[in-house]
Structure 1
Amino acid sequence: MTFKTKTCFEIVCDGGCDNPWDDDGTPHFDTEAEAATYAKSAGWSVFDGRALCPSCLSKVTCERTGHQWGDWFARDHHGIAYRTRWCNRCDERGYDPPVDELYPRLQALRDAEEILRAAAGPGGQS
């Protein structure tokens, strides 16, 4: 049996994402030129000297130029009203009121519901 070492090229995102290739696995290439051509065809870009997958490029672009917000959608969770919207370019969500104000209200509601369930006892009877 003979073992042989082979060197290949991989495309690594410099944006900090865990797995830019999802479930397909990281592709390997025989030359750097092949890797660069494939990356460009897959929507990758070089931005400020960093190779970025499409998702990270969207995040960096939004950081630099601002989000492209969609319309607000009204929400209500057991009487706690709020609005939410999404950026049309990256995966950022916006909340009104802001999430740091909204989360404590929702957590207090969950805590109150748990207390009421416990007070009702087995079978929901108090």
Structure 2
Amino acid sequence: MSVTARTCLIITCTRCGEVNDECQAIHADTIDDVRAWFSDWQWSNPDTPELCPGCVADLDCERDGHQWKPWQSATIPGREHIRFRSCAHCSDLEHAA
């Protein structure tokens, strides 16, 4: 029987608390494996991912402004007068009556 040592990592977003991407823990042989797995996260230093992709998008929009899609009318019967739009980058919503 052979034994292989692996590092178990639980990566948590420092802003929203999201854990990893779609799994609770990953097992990596090297930090390069971790970097590849979390390439869409923001890294402030080479060893620690800090912000998940959703928070990176939110902060981009806070800094640079939203990328609003065109206004749309609601499709709920009796509520067609309500209009809404969403941001193409962070998926924030805005509505108007």
Q: TM-score range by the shorter chain?
A: 0.5 to 0.7
Counterpart in 2 of 1:54? 53
Q: Which has the larger radius of gyration?
A: 1
Identity %: 27
How far off its partner does 1:20 sit?
Answer: 4.5
TM-score by length of 1: 0.55
SS in 2 for 1:35: helix
Question: Which structure features the higher share of strand residues?
Answer: 2
Do 2:6 and 2:28's aligned partners in 1 also have CA atoms closer than 8 Å?
Answer: no
Residue of structure 2 in register with 1:8 after alignment: 8
Instruction: Mark the runs of 5 or more structure 1 residues left unpaired by the alignment.
Output: 98-126
> Taking CA–CA contacts closer than 8 Å with sequence separation of 6 or more, which of the two structures ends up with the larger relative contact order?
2
On the 8 A contact 1:9/1:31 being kept in 2, the answer is no
Q: How many residues get paired? A: 90
**TM-score normalised to the size of structure 2?**
0.68
Instruction: Supply the AA of the counterpart residue of 1:93.
Output: L
Residues 39-83 of structure 1: per-residue CA shift (max 9 Å, x gap): 11xx22226x96222122111111111111000002265257211
Give the Cα separation in 2 of the matches to 1:50 and 1:15.
12
